[in-house]
Amino acid sequence: MKRIGCVLLTFTPAFQTAKTLIPAKELRMHPKETTQCIQENGETTHKNGETTHKNGETTHKNGETTHKNGETTHKNGETTHKNGETTHKNGETTQHVEENGSY
């Protein structure tokens, strides 16, 4: 995949500003800022190794995918839903039960 550009984002409490195409040497002088690289296919690769896709999903370094609806698909093929239920590869769904017996 070819990168088409990287931006340096500066985060402030109310807004963020973007500076375009900062040389790597200068990036090291801004440790509190985050580098994002936009790929040709519209994906954004973050400094922490995560990738945000055009459809709003995020793929994490550990191989898990967080979907726009808040569900997480794990590397083992299981899906954890927002309500705490887990759908397993075999199609079964289980509820997460805390040690005190509550859901």
Question: Domain limits of the chain?
Answer: 1-54, 63-98
Decide: pTM greater than 0.85.
no
Which two structure tokens, joined as six digits, stand for 43?
A: 């994906």
Structure tokens at 44: 């954004």
Contact 84, 90 (CB under 8 A): no
Q: Which pair of structure tokens corresponds to residue 11?
A: 């985060």
Q: What string of pLDDT tens digits covers the 103 residues of the chain?
A: 455 555 555 444 443 444 445 455 444 444 444 556 767 677 777 777 788 888 888 888 888 888 888 888 888 888 888 888 888 888 888 886 655 554 4
Q: State the Cα–Cα distance between residues 7 and 52, nearest whole angstrom.
A: 15
- Please tell me the distance from the alpha carbon of residue 58 to that of residue 16, in angstroms, as a whole number: 20
